[in-house]
Structure 1
């Protein structure tokens, strides 16, 4: 491997933080673990080496140093803990679904149908992708399942039709289409209570701590002014930020019609794949939704990740995919090691008490501020601290109680308004990093969005989404008396 400044820079960042005197309230292991975490993030941003390698090296150093567990055997169990996380396997399943779409030909057929209808202009494809997620979101409690099982496998086939492949030609149209899909799912995850699993869990926390409880329609009504606006703006903003090289392609519409005609009727494997996708959607909607009960099965009768294993097994049995196809898919295993490592490392920050120290240290001085300033700073903290998390659920469980407790201590601050702003942040904050939410690693590992670009786009869209919370949702909640 060639040694460059990008290889050295993360080590320099690690050493600089490591040598800083340990802040009051922390011990040496906690501070040095934080230094390692920042160095790993720097390595990912700078692309010092493949993302999977960066994450694995960081995880290994943390385990050997015993930052989280001093006992070597417990430290090893901690290192391996992320490999059993259900979200990791949902992400892996998304890539396998994509293989099934590709090998069966169904993905190409669906992509050609979208291109035939809206492919004359690139911006039209962006809106088609956004609308697809919007339709699925209200009934799919897992955004990882929604993106991985349906949106990503179809969308990933569109760029190839335009001669846009991962790598040098990604900018033709692939970067735009893939980023639009990812940025949209962050919006729909906040727009509907049932579009993101942690939404309901966080609402349960809010009910216990702040006495705030709203139903599905109230949730939608409170966020709709921003959510609907963002759904209209995301394809346009992505178009400006990603700058696709292909703007219009009228000839591609006629070409796609000819290609569809040449494909003929659906093949056996396409029918099977379509049936398996419908089965997955049915199980995701009904199987993990507490509001839906089936005779003889009740509610919550199957986990979303278990659904993935069921469908992959059926794909193997029916011959839609071969196990060799899965083993040969390089991107699957790079994302597997990268996301597993980051999931474990970020959870380690919470396990060692660093997040609690940071949260309480930031929040304590806010109790003496004016209500408006206090609310803005608390929501800012709740949103942007997600850079230290790879799980929205753990973020909500760790930070939300502290933020609400501090908010209740600020005279005249509207705790219901603060609560809703935090709850509406949960989906939106998923856009800020390549590990912030379940769908992120899929798009990060697709090869269509440059690793550095992913961080840059995430920061830009994160700032837009966050500004929308303060400029649109905050006044709206006050206007309607929440």
Structure 2
């Protein structure tokens, strides 16, 4: 029998083919636009369902190959020759493959190696146990510990995958040490707090999560300079601190068990002692990572771009043999890098094919009608993007595309800094109520074999996150007005 994933791929592929052939959005959207839209939808189906655990490269190859073929066919007049005017860009390869030359990709690649180094050297685990042994072994102490660990690990690597891989196994170890039942209230509190702190805090700065490089790559050329480390931190650090703090506080108030935790700080001290003294590789790695972070924060002062700093850090890891030769190919997931490259190229592909010009006005009227009231506007578009995330899984590209289309008119007509509007996308991409909406929940469940939490716990913590997100907007909008990024 054909499994559900294959049925999903077939259904979405048929939808893409119908859009390409029937062209339901004519005459507003050109035939080329329909063909490109159908191609991207077919590739998106491969990304979403991944039948047989096919790599992301399967969908990436569909989009790259067919889009290149379409552009060259139109340029040569082979597709409806003489009927559809199409001004091919000077460098078609530069449009379709542009994501792979974007500075965002060259921030991403070294950053993924940062996470590899944290795992290989044991530095990430050392940092986690060092914090855990510092605070009292209570439900509140654990919450504070996970918060500190989340911030510390986010400062050293943007890879949420790595952070989840470090903290979730430690969390389930604490559950077992406390002799708590798997998937119990106490188990969910420990594990979902740890998981949340691997996800949320780093969203507040450009290199704290992969959302930073992703949005930097997505930004249109005319406003790309506005997506930099300093502005991201100035505009988004406070709102994401509020999200993180409220998530922890509400989890402690609403989701902690009534009985006291059955563990002492001595357990964490023993685990830390087992790690032994810091190795030479750990010390060198820590110095390189902290130095890189300082360079990121002071980019305006020294003028060295984030990508250059990240690449030099990667050079140092290789030079000091912390990353060995064979690990260049095996140390990170190159499938994710290829997936990221084509995702970053989608906005210019949509621009050249006419999709952006066609789709923009469709949403401009309803959205712009409330843009004069910033708080109402941010609350509405955030809620709308959250609703879209019920079908826009797992990585939220529809929400990203809708956000990007809004940025320039909101900036030009209403004075919204693009990064302020980006907050709606960031909230939506971190959103979850059900496990399937959040790939990092699925990853965490896989690491601990589903022992940490039940679906009801995910739903409860998802509601906590939603409350935290909307409270952050109530704080953020007045703050943005005060610092002048919303007029």
TM (norm. structure 2) is 0.65
Q: What is residue 275 of structure 2 aligned with on the other side?
A: 263
The 3 A distance-change label for structure 1 pair 178 and 40 is farther
Per-residue deviation, residues 34-87 of structure 1 (Å, max 9, x unmatched)? 233334334433343345234323324433542588459955554433222332
Question: Could you tell me which residue of structure 2 aligns to residue 211 of structure 1?
Answer: none
Does 1:27 find its partner at 2:56? no
Tell me if structure 2 keeps the 8 A contact 1:88–1:339: yes
* Aligned equivalents of 2:163, 2:192: Cα separation in 1: 15
| Correspondent of 1:399 among 403, 406, 424 | 406
Tell me the distance in 2 between the aligned counterparts of 1:305 and 1:445. Answer: 29
* 8 Å CA contact 2:200, 2:240 repeated in 1: no
RMSD: 5.4
Aligned to 1:315: 317
Aligned residue runs from structure 1 range 442-461, under 5 A: 447-448=443-444
What displacement does 1:476 show?
8.1
Cα gap change, 1:249 to 1:36, in 2 (>3 Å): farther
Deviation at 1:232, TM superposition (A): 1.9
Among residues 199, 202, 221, which one is paired with 1:182 in the alignment?
199
Q: Deviations over 1:185-235 (max 9, x none)?
A: 335679xxxx9996xx99x969x9xxxxxx98x966x995x6554232233
Asked whether the 8 Å contact 2:167–2:198 carries over to 1, the reply is no
Shift of 1:109: 1.4
- Structure 1, unmatched stretches of 5+, are 137-142, 209-214, 293-298, 409-414, 435-441
Q: Structure 1 residues 346, 127: closer, same or farther in 2, change over 3 A?
A: farther
Question: Unpaired segments of 5 or more residues in structure 2?
Answer: 77-89, 174-181, 390-395, 431-437, 448-454
- 1:152-191 matches, within 5 Å, as 156-162=165-171, 176-187=193-204
Query: What is the CA–CA distance in structure 1 between the aligned matches of 2:61 and 2:140, rounded to whole Å?
Result: 40
Alpha-carbon distance in structure 2 between the residues aligned to 1:120 and 1:446: 28
Pick from 44, 53, 65 the counterpart of residue 41 of structure 1.
Answer: 44
Alpha-carbon spacing, 1:478–1:5, altered in 2? closer, same or farther (3 Å): same
Write out per-residue CA displacement over residues 138-196 of structure 1, whole angstroms, 9 at most, x where no aligned residue.
xxxxx8xx4626987566423333457xxxx9997666534433223335679xxxx99
> Which residue, out of 90, 99, 110, partners 1:82?
99
Instruction: State how many pairs are aligned.
Output: 421
TM-fit CA distance, 1:26: 0.6
Matches of 1:174 and 1:81, distance apart in 2 = 39
Q: Is the 8 A contact 1:116 1:254 kept in 2?
A: yes
Name the TM-score, length of structure 1 as normaliser.
0.66
* Matched residue, 1:231: 244
CA contact (8 A) 1:376 1:470 kept: no
